[in-house]
Amino acid sequence: MTEAAELPPAPEQARVVFGDRFADAVRYAELLAEAGVQRGLIGPREVPRLWERHLLNCAVLSEAVPEGVTVCDVGSGAGLPGIPLALVRDDLNITLLEPLLRRTTFLTEVVELLGLDHVTVVRGRAEEVMGKLPPVHVVTARAVAPLDRLATWGIPLLRPYGEMLALKGDTAEEELKSAATALSKLGAVSTSILHVGEGVVDPPSTVVRVEVGESPGGVRFAAKRAKAARTGRVRRRR
C-alpha cells in the first residue's frame, strides 16, 4: 500500500490571496488531501502541489471575473476552480455543476463545512440543466474537455452577453484556433487569452475567455432554450 503524500504548509502567497478566508482555504486543502484522495477525486501525487497547482492556480481566476455576477462552474469535480473562487469572492453567486454523485456529495460537505452560503451544488450534466437553471453571467471550467466540446456544454448556460472562462495550459492558443468555427456557431463574438496570477503562481494561470452576444449557444440552442422555458411555465401553472 502506497503511503499517503503529505500536504505541505500553505505558501505565504495563500495568506495574501485568501485573506480572511485563509483558514478555510487550509481546511479545504486538508479535505482534498484526505477525503479527496480517499474518494478518488484527486490523485495522491497531486497532494504535494495542491497549493500552487490547484488552489492558488484557481483562486487567481478571480482577477478575470466581474463584480457581483452569477457563476456556474461546469464539471466542478472536487470544486476546482469553483471553491477557491468562492473563498476569495463572496460577492459572487456560484453554482457548482457536477454529474457524479460521489463528487457532489463531497462538494456539499465542503460547502456546508466552510459556510459558503453563496455557493449551491447541483448534480447534473450541463446539457441536462439548460433551461432548468437560470442563465448565468459567467461559466467557469478547468480540465473538463477540449475547448470546442466544453463550449458546447458551457456557452448555452450563459445569459446574453455573458462569458466563459476556461483555465487552460500550454495548449490554450492551439485549442482556441481549432475551436474558432465551433465557437462562432455557438454565438461567440469575441475570444482572448488572459494570464492571471502574476506574482502569485509561476507561471501565471492561462485563461481562455469566450464572450457571447445576444444568443448564447447560437441557433442550435435557441429552440431548446425556448422549449425549456415553455415547459417551466407549464410546470409552474400546475
Low-confidence spans in the chain with pLDDT less than 70: 1-4, 220, 222-238
Whether 92 and 69 have beta carbons less than 8 Å apart is answered as: yes
Superfamily of domain 62-236: Vaccinia Virus protein VP39 (3.40.50.150)
Domain segments of the chain as ranges: 62-236
Among residues 199, 126, 216, 210, the alpha carbon closest in space to that of 175 is found at 210
Please tell me whether 75 is known to bind a ligand: yes
Q: Can you give the pLDDT at residue 131?
A: 85
Cβ burial of 102 (10 Å; 0-12, 13-18, 19+) is: exposed
- Tell whether 127 is in a known binding site: yes
Q: What DSSP line would sit under 161-225, residue for residue?
A: EEEEEEEE-TTHHHHHHHTHHHHHHTTEEEEEEEEE-TTTSSSPEEEEEEEE-SSTTHHHHHHHH
Q: What is the DSSP code (8-state) at residue 100?
A: -
- Is the separation of the CB atoms in 22 and 14 below 8 Å? yes
User: Percent of the chain at pLDDT above 90?
Assistant: 84
Question: Which pLDDT score, from 0 to 100, does residue 2 have?
Answer: 43
Q: How far is CA 202 from CA 63, 64, 212, in A?
A: 16, 17, 30
For residue 5, say whether it is annotated as part of any ligand binding site. no
Q: Is 80 known as a binding-site position?
A: yes
Report the distance separating Cα 62 and Cα 42, nearest Å: 23
The reply, when asked if residue 40 is annotated as ligand binding, is: no
Sequence-distant (6+) residues with CB within 8 A of 105 are none
pLDDT of residue 1: 36
Q: Looking at residue 115, what is its pLDDT?
A: 98
In this prediction, residue 144 carries a pLDDT of 81
pLDDT attached to residue 187:
95
> Nine-digit cell at 17?
490571496
In the block, residue with C-alpha cell 502569485: 200
